[in-house]
């Protein structure tokens, strides 16, 4: 339970925050924000039951009513989930334990009558039996939670500081991006958004390795089902280190002191999920051989790139977040698609995959982009807009997905490849897609802070187009109209030729496959471009 000195601290904090708000014209016009003291407590008294016990204490209430909302979706997975389906037994009292009236406004929103009290205690239970990057699990092996599925917030107070106390089963360790060690139980977050952006693992046995890159501490946590071979574990950790070094070179090291890879290996579930200071990596396979380790490195390469691309440099609807309904926006082809591209090419540049493997992957993804029936009518922006329908969405009715939807991951990856080659060709190798991302960062992340959330503002499609134009040194509007907003067939063969690669089609129209390979007739200039793109000496690395 949150102890009383802490509550007292929050009362004082709430009062001081209210006091220091500037009395500028704007503030007067908007009415000063009155911060509440907000503290969560999560307990796991009976892991096998799959029920979390959650308590929320609020102090400093000055209004007659207070709304509590459970998110209906969780950033990073775009379908509407209605987590409240698993919430039950909500009991609300004053801080002194007197019952408070509440009514359910909709399935995920409750209104408390707080005229009689300046404090409230809300207790409820949540059933959690799904290990994933979006849901939560509690069973006899572990707990792993994603906060959007567990923690209600006070409407109008997402920006207030929150405190979290974790009460694990006896002997279990706690780890998340904020935990200095396994024994930490008390956590402070600058706002609700960061509370739920901090997935937490609680388990009897967890390994934790660390390394430093660019003055930051990186940690690799593994909850492995069964004995984990230490040589394979270190292969994974060293691989992650190479990925971090490689990806930090694109946009610079991220603004953080510590980053944590939170891995679950060998438990039911398969997912990767990006967060501000960590990523979840979940796969049912145990780490028994180097191929399994390399699969995990594939997750790490994609998810860590998100530390900039989507978590900080973000589409305008993705921070701050509206958790009351699913969000539709056009830029996931950048947020996910470019991340997919960098995830793949970074493995190559970090020396984890060889060029031959890279070409196989690109060939498969190009095959998808050039054969998926939905490509004929659905643009990259429209595909992004449909994310809430397809990214984890329930499918109670039959859907002809191949004709109805093209993945913004794969199409976005294809567009990133084309843009990278386009920029490199137009600038004689002087610039690349890296520079477009740097320009996008400057335009959005480095812009004046637009809300309480993090830094800067979210970007629009126009920002993306301008950032690419900056890097290419030419107005790319027509290109975007044709290939991003439009559905013109992507010109892979023509583009790959510029870096000395050939694209060969095989099979009939029903089973068409595309293969990427070094072009035997590549010019010296094309070979030089390819070498730079691979960031390897082409004469020794190519095979
Ligand atoms: Zn676990
Ligand atoms: Zn992703």
Ligand with an atom nearest the CA of residue 281: 1
Ligand with an atom nearest the CA of residue 47: 1
Decide if 305 contacts 339 (C-beta within 8 A). yes
Ligand with an atom nearest the CA of residue 268: 1
CA distance 539 to 543: 9
| CA 134–ligand 2 middle distance (angstroms) | 13
Residue 97 has pLDDT above 50, yes or no: yes
CA distance 527 to 479: 25
33-51 burial by CB neighbour count: b if 16+ within 10 A, else e? ebbbbbbbbbbbeebeebb
Q: Which residue has the tokens 């699969």?
A: 295
CA distance 65 to 117: 10
Ligand with an atom nearest the CA of residue 222: 1
| CA 342–ligand 2 middle distance (angstroms) | 11
CA distance 149 to 253: 30
pLDDT tens digits for range 213-260? 999 999 999 999 999 999 999 999 999 999 999 999 999 999 999 999
Question: What is the mean predicted confidence (pLDDT) over 131-145?
Answer: 98
Ligand with an atom nearest the CA of residue 223: 1
CA distance 171 to 365: 46
Which residue, 269, 92, 286, 276, is CA-closest to 194?
A: 276
The edge-to-edge listing of strands for the beta sheet with 137-138 is: 137-138, 143-145, 200-203, 173-175
Q: Which residue has the tokens 């390394």?
A: 211
pLDDT tens digits for range 483-499? 999 999 999 999 999 99
Question: What is the mean predicted confidence (pLDDT) over 399-420?
Answer: 97
| CA 3–ligand 2 middle distance (angstroms) | 39
* Cα torsion through 282, 339, 352, 214, rounded to 10: -90
Ligand with an atom nearest the CA of residue 333: 2
Beta-sheet pairing, 216-224 with 258-265: parallel
Ligand with an atom nearest the CA of residue 224: 1
Q: Bridge-partner residues for 175, per DSSP?
A: 201
Higher pLDDT, 10 or 457: 457
Ligand with an atom nearest the CA of residue 173: 1
Residue 24 has pLDDT above 70, yes or no: no
Residue 25 has pLDDT above 80, yes or no: no
Percentage of the residues of the chain whose pLDDT score is greater than 70: 93
Q: Phi and psi for 472 in degrees, rounded to 5?
A: -80, -20
Ligand with an atom nearest the CA of residue 142: 1
| CA 41–ligand 1 middle distance (angstroms) | 20
| CA 134–ligand 1 middle distance (angstroms) | 14
CA distance 120 to 99: 9
| CA 100–ligand 2 middle distance (angstroms) | 42
| CA 258–ligand 2 middle distance (angstroms) | 20
| CA 27–ligand 2 middle distance (angstroms) | 38
**Average pLDDT over all residues of the chain:** 93
CA distance 318 to 311: 8
Residue 528 has pLDDT above 80, yes or no: yes
| CA 264–ligand 1 middle distance (angstroms) | 5
Identify the sign of the CA torsion 293, 298, 299, 300. positive
Crossing angle of helices 408-426 and 355-371, in 10° steps, is 120
| CA 144–ligand 1 middle distance (angstroms) | 6
Ligand with an atom nearest the CA of residue 334: 2
| CA 30–ligand 2 middle distance (angstroms) | 37
Ligand with an atom nearest the CA of residue 136: 1
Which residue, 70, 63, 4, is CA-closest to 34?
A: 63
Which residue, 4, 7, 130, 126, is CA-closest to 60?
A: 7
pLDDT confidence bin for 1, thresholds 50/70/90: very low
pLDDT at site 30: 57
pLDDT tens digits for range 142-163? 999 999 999 999 999 999 999 9
Ligand with an atom nearest the CA of residue 77: 2
| CA 185–ligand 2 middle distance (angstroms) | 30
* Cα torsion through 191, 193, 196, 197, rounded to 10: -110
CA distance 209 to 263: 12
- Kind plus residue range of the DSSP H or E element containing 214: none
Can you list the domains of the chain with their CATH numbers?
Answer: 4-203 (2.60.40.3650), 207-305 (1.10.390.10), 332-541 (1.10.390.10)
| CA 345–ligand 2 middle distance (angstroms) | 15
Cis peptide before 320 (omega within 30 of 0): yes
Asked if this assembly's ipTM is beyond 0.95, the reply is yes
DSSP per-residue codes, 235-293: HHHHHHHHHHHHHHHHH-S-S-SEEEEEEEESSS--EEEE-SSEEEEEESS---SHHHH
Q: Which two tokens stand for residue 1?
A: 């339970």
| CA 242–ligand 1 middle distance (angstroms) | 25
Which residue, 310, 393, 366, 401, is CA-closest to 496?
A: 366
Question: What is the total residue count of the chain?
Answer: 543
Q: Phi and psi for 456 in degrees, rounded to 5?
A: 65, -150
**Looking at 407-416, 463-472, 519-528, 531-540, which range is the least confident one?**
531-540
pLDDT confidence bin for 394, thresholds 50/70/90: confident
| CA 303–ligand 2 middle distance (angstroms) | 6
**Looking at 23-32, 306-315, 359-368, which range is the least confident one?**
23-32
| CA 231–ligand 1 middle distance (angstroms) | 21
pLDDT at site 22: 44
Beta-sheet pairing, 278-283 with 258-265: parallel
CA distance 515 to 527: 18
Residues 6+ apart with CB under 8 A from 304: 240, 243, 244, 247, 259, 261, 279
| CA 415–ligand 2 middle distance (angstroms) | 16
């Amino acid at each position: 339970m949150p102890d009383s000195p802490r509550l007292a601290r929050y009362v004082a904090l709430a009062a001081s925050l209210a006091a220091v708000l500037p009395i500028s014209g704007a503030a007067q016009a908007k009415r000063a924000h009155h911060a509440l003291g907000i503290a969560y407590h999560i307990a796991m008294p009976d892991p096998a039951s799959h029920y979390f016990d959650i308590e929320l204490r609020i102090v400093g209430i000055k209004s007659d009513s207070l709304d509590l909302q459970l998110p209906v979706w969780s950033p990073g997975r775009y379908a509407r989930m209605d987590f409240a389906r698993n919430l039950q037994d909500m009991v609300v009292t004053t801080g002194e334990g007197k019952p408070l009236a509440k009514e359910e406004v909709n399935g995920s929103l409750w209104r408390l009558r707080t005229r009689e009290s300046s404090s409230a205690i809300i207790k409820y239970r949540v059933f959690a039996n799904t290990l994933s990057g979006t849901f939560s699990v509690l069973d006899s092996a572990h707990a792993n939670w994603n906060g959007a599925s567990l923690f209600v917030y006070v409407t109008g107070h997402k920006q207030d500081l929150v405190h979290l106390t974790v009460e694990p089963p006896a002997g279990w360790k706690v780890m998340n991006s904020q935990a200095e060690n396994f024994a930490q139980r008390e956590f402070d977050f600058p706002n609700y958004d960061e509370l739920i952006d901090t997935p937490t693992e609680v388990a009897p046995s967890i390994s934790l390795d660390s390394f430093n890159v660019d003055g930051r501490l990186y940690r690799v946590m593994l909850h492995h089902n069964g004995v984990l071979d230490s040589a394979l574990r270190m292969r994974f950790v060293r691989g992650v280190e190479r990925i971090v070094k490689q990806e930090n070179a694109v946009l610079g090291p991220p603004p953080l002191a510590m980053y944590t890879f939170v891995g679950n290996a060998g438990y039911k579930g398969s997912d990767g999920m990006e967060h501000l200071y960590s990523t979840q990596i979940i796969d049912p396979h145990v780490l028994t051989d180097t191929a399994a380790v390399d699969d995990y490195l594939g997750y790490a390469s994609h998810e860590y790139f998100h530390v900039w691309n989507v978590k900080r440099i973000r589409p305008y609807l993705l921070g701050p977040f509206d958790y009351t309904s699913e969000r539709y926006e056009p830029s996931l082809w950048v947020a996910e698609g470019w991340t997919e591209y960098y995830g793949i090419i970074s493995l190559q540049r970090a020396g984890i995959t060889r060029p031959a493997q890279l070409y196989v992957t690109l060939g498969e993804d190009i095959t998808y982009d050039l054969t998926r029936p939905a490509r004929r009518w659905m643009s990259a922006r429209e595909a992004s807009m449909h994310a809430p329908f397809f990214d984890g969405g329930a499918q109670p009715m039959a859907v002809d997905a191949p004709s109805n939807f093209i993945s913004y991951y794969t199409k976005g990856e294809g567009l990133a490849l084309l843009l990278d080659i386009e920029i490199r060709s137009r600038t004689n190798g002087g610039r690349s897609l890296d520079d477009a991302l740097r320009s996008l960062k400057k335009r959005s992340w480095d812009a004046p802070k637009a809300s309480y959330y993090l830094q800067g503002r979210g970007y629009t499609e126009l920002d993306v187009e301008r950032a690419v134009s900056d890097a290419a040194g030419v107005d790319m509007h027509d290109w975007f109209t044709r290939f991003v907003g439009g559905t013109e067939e992507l010109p892979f063969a023509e583009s790959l030729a510029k870096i000395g690669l050939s694209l060969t089609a095989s099979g009939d129209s029903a089973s068409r496959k595309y293969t990427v390979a070094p072009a035997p007739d590549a010019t010296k200039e094309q070979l030089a471009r390819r070498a730079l793109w691979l960031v390897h000496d082409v004469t020794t690395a190519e095979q």
